[in-house]
Amino acid sequence: MFNFATLKTKMKKDVSTEQKIKDAARKVFMTKGFSGCTTREIAKSVGINVALLNYYFRSKGKLFELILEAALSDFIESMVDVFQQDLPLEDKTRMLIDKEFEFLRKHPELPLFIHAGLNQESDAELDQSKFLGRLHKTGIFEECEKAQAQGHMRKVNMINVTLLFMSNCHFPIMSKKLICGIYQIDDNEHEARLNEHKEIVKEMLINYLFPNTNKHA
């Protein structure tokens, strides 16, 4: 008789142990950082032995690099999604900010983890070069250059454009502890400020980058 299970050669459980380790490692690394946690802590949260962690991944550092690279990829991919939409550049801009705030609300630890992780002196330097290619393939750079040549978009270096977006989308999420601490507000109030901030950022960036089409916005 036909055995369905033989099809999935490597999947013996609902979720493979390897994936479960990755998930747990991601969560722990995100909140505590590389040197802020132990391999035993990760293993315990999965419910497995420490040695199994080194059986699947060679070392703590190797596992961390994997998680960091995946996080960076998520980051880029959340932008790529928007760039690939068939929309006017200005609408893409609005959509990018909306999606970015939405994405970061679900993964608020991501930005700080990535920046802190990159500053960590890792054994092997992380190869980020592929991400540039990933962005290039969406044609967003050419689209901006064209809009700049036609006077629709303000002539600003693409690195500075990137900085404008990331600054205004990522920082408000990363700075939660600092803002709540200084202004003595709770999570609800911070959430409200964040919602308002999204609209502020949208208007400010659109007005700055597309001044001709939005003179009196």
Contacts with its own copies by CB under 8 A lie at: 31-36, 76, 112, 114-116, 118-121, 126, 128-129, 131-132, 135, 156-157, 159-160, 162-164, 166-168, 170-172, 174-175, 177-179, 181-185, 193, 196-197, 200, 203-205, 207-208
Q: Are 212 and 152 in contact (CB under 8 A)?
A: yes
What is the C-alpha separation between 10 and 156, in angstroms, rounded? 50
Task: Tell me how far, at minimum, the Cβ of 85 lies from its own copies, in Å.
Answer: 21
For residue 47, give both structure tokens: 């419910």
Residue tagged 């033989």 (tokens) = 6
The amino acid that residue 54 corresponds to is N
Is the CB of 53 or the CB of 79 nearer to DNA? Answer: 53
Enumerate the H helices of 57-186 as residue ranges. 60-83, 89-106, 110-119, 129-136, 140-149, 158-174, 176-183
- Interface region with DNA, contact rule CB under 7 A, candidates 6-14, 96-104, 125-133, 137-145: 6-14
Phi and psi for 49 in degrees, rounded to 5?
Answer: -80, 150
Minimum Å distance from CB 214 to its own copies? 11
CB atoms near residue 184 (< 10 Å): 8
d(Cα 195, Cα 149) in Å, to the nearest integer?
Answer: 34
End-to-end CA distance of the chain: 69
- CA atoms of 135 and 111, how far apart (whole Å): 18
CB of 63 to DNA, least distance (A): 8
- Does residue number 6 form part of the binding site for DNA (CB under 7 A)? yes
Residue 188's binding partner among DNA, its own copies, none (Cβ under 5 to 8 angstroms by kind) is: none
Indicate which of DNA, its own copies, none lies near residue 156 (CB less than 5 to 8 Å, by partner kind): its own copies
Q: Does 120 bind DNA (CB under 7 A)?
A: no
27-56: contacts with DNA (CB under 7 A): 37-41, 47-55
| Binding partner of residue 166 among DNA, its own copies, none, CB cut-off 5 to 8 Å per kind | its own copies
- For DNA, the closer of residues 86 and 123 by Cβ is 123
Q: Which residues lie near DNA (CB under 7 A)?
A: 5-6, 9-10, 12, 17, 37-41, 47-55, 58-61
